A and B are shown apart, each in its own frame.
Chain A
Amino acid sequence: MIQKYFKNWCGERLPLDTIRNHFKNKFVPRHRHTIWYYLGGLTVFFFVIQLLTGVLLMIYYKPTMEGAHQSVVYIINEVPFGWLIRSIHSWAANLMIATLLLHLMSVFYLQAYRPPRELMWMSGFILLFLILGFGFTGYLLPWDDIAFYATQIGTEVPKSIPLVGPTLVALLRGGEDIGEATITRMYTLHVFVLPIATLLFVGIHLFLSQYYGASKPITTRPKGKDIPFYPNFVLRDLRTWCIALILLIGVAILMPWGLGEEADILRPAPEGVKPEWYFIPMYQTLNILPARILIFDGETILNSVLMIGGFVVFLLPFLDRKAKQRERNKFILTAGTLVILYCIVITVSAYI
């Protein structure tokens, strides 16, 4: 009775019928690559987990040089389930980046970026940067040795960008060196600026995905009838999220996220210092590049390649003219595969 009254009350004030009709008429293509459609939803799921656990961690975390490491130790050792919440936050961050990269790869290989979905690709690409920004800014917050050096290296790289490099580094660090100002800046970015920007772009991305629907791959044949989005595909999404949640809690309990020694700005860099796995390709490339190539520093070359490469990937839907005509573009697919293989090989080489 109350439920019916509430439904009618909402129906009179909101366009519920329009929303219901939209979902009723929305279908997801069924083919041998349908499984890749779950990755976007899975990334959003991990993002929601991050928001929830992040808010909980904010209650105890202190963004100061004296308090940061101690507060994380306190969360792990004293706060009931603190170790679990922090472990879930750290694991979910990594899983979110993993599913995001897989999602990006699936869109690339299925050439789902082709018109009219250019804006979906571009908003997704911006989201990739925002999510990597979360990883980067969050990494320093525990203020342990590895976090300190990963941030030291990460914030030093943009220094070689002509004209704006040193200003950009000073803005990120809050000074010339990493210290208290860096923690507060990273914290502000991590808990306020990046979440707001990410929520905005997730909203745009989801709106576009509802507007255009799932892209059908160029060469794949359909396998039976399309799947109704509501309730069939939504329930399948929920099933995937349940499995992901069980796995996430499992790894968070069985392999709790560690914490290194408190950072000391005077302590020499420890042997084998490495950033998180998703920054390893850049880190290892810096290791390989000689100090100077012709008249340029190695970092300047890497920055230039990354910026040009990023710009090309961002504009991929406009550059791939074959995809527009529903044709496989072998050159772009081979180039993308080579980049992915390079990243995999160089990442594995850093761990063996």
Chain B
Amino acid sequence: MEKNNRRKILNLIIWGWAGVTSIPFLSTVFRFTSPPKREGPITAAVSTTEEVPPNSGKTVSLGNRPVLLITTPEGERRAFLANCTHLGCVVRYREEENDIYCACHHSVFDIEGKNMSGPAPRPLPQLPIEIENDNIVVTVS
């Protein structure tokens, strides 16, 4: 009986020790594999106004993210994060339809970025845009 108790205590100590040491081990592995958080807002000149004439779109990279610049037929300029809000495929501007389209699951957004049809659940995030000396300056948060 006493021997059994000793074994039970020994088992408890071994499993307890294994449990306690596995927590910092797993936590270290998790923290090691977790990617660093993205840095704060990035503002940069991403294109010239000439490169995006009326009724056209251009995809540029800002902070390693695709950004869609469009100029409406009326000449208004807008910038959106170019990842479709459905599953993240890069969208494009369609001149003939005057809309933004994702070929992966055929989602369509209007030129305000609002989801019009297809499975995209939300509008495209619009980004602040400024024109400085014929350069298009965009901020990604």
* CB proximity of B88 to chain A, nearest CB, Å: 4
Q: Is A175 an interface residue (CB 8 A)?
A: yes
For A167, list chain B residues within 8 Å (CB).
34
For A273, list chain B residues within 8 Å (CB).
89, 103-104
* CB proximity of B138 to chain A, nearest CB, Å: 14
- The digit string for B96-135, where 1 denotes a CB below 8 A from any CB of A, is 0000001111100000000100111100000000000000
A153, A287, A291: the one contacting B121 at CB < 8 Å is A291
A268, B61: Cβ atoms closer than 8 Å: no
For A291, list chain B residues within 8 Å (CB).
86, 115, 118-121
**Count of chain B residues with a beta carbon within 8 Å of a chain A beta carbon:** 31
For A297, list chain B residues within 8 Å (CB).
121
For B91, list chain A residues within 8 Å (CB).
268-269
For B89, list chain A residues within 8 Å (CB).
149, 152-153, 268-269, 273
Among A171, A173, A269, the one with the most B-chain Cβ atoms within 10 Å of its Cβ is A269
Smallest CB gap from B117: residue in A: A291
B60, A269: Cβ atoms closer than 8 Å: no
Q: Is B38 an interface residue (CB 8 A)?
A: yes
- The digit string for A169-211, where 1 denotes a CB below 8 A from any CB of B, is 0110111110101000000000000000000000000000000
B88, A156: Cβ atoms closer than 8 Å: yes
B87, A266: Cβ atoms closer than 8 Å: no
* CB proximity of B66 to chain A, nearest CB, Å: 5
Q: Is A7 an interface residue (CB 8 A)?
A: no
* CB proximity of B80 to chain A, nearest CB, Å: 13
For A269, list chain B residues within 8 Å (CB).
84, 89-92, 102-104
Compute how far the CA of A267 lies from the CA of B103 in the bound complex, rounded to whole angstroms.
11
Instruction: Given the known inter-chain contacts A181-B35, A291-B120, please indicate yes or no for A268 contacting B87, CB distance below 8 A.
Output: no
Compute how far the CA of A268 lies from the CA of B70 in the bound complex, rounded to whole angstroms.
14
Instruction: Please provide the chain B residues from 52 to 78 with a CB less than 8 Å away from any CB of chain A in the complex.
Output: 59-61, 64-66
B104, A289: Cβ atoms closer than 8 Å: no
Q: Is B33 an interface residue (CB 8 A)?
A: yes
Compute how far the CA of A297 lies from the CA of B85 in the bound complex, rounded to whole angstroms.
11
Compute how far the CA of A181 lies from the CA of B86 in the bound complex, rounded to whole angstroms.
23
Among A171, A268, A286, the one with the most B-chain Cβ atoms within 10 Å of its Cβ is A268
A170, B34: Cβ atoms closer than 8 Å: yes
For B105, list chain A residues within 8 Å (CB).
286-287
Compute how far the CA of A68 lies from the CA of B104 in the bound complex, rounded to whole angstroms.
24
15 examples of A-B residue contacts, CB within 8 angstroms: A156-B88, A171-B34, A171-B35, A173-B35, A176-B38, A177-B64, A268-B82, A269-B89, A270-B103, A273-B103, A287-B106, A291-B119, A291-B121, A297-B121, A298-B119
Identify the A interface with B (CB < 8 A). 149, 152-153, 156-157, 167, 170-171, 173-177, 179, 181, 265-273, 286-287, 289-292, 297-299
Identify the B interface with A (CB < 8 A). 33-36, 38, 59-61, 64-66, 82-84, 86-92, 102-106, 115, 118-121
Having A265-B61, A286-B87, A291-B118, one finds 15 other A-B pairs with CB under 8 Å, namely A149-B104, A152-B87, A170-B34, A175-B38, A265-B64, A266-B60, A266-B90, A268-B91, A269-B84, A269-B104, A273-B89, A286-B105, A286-B119, A291-B119, A298-B121
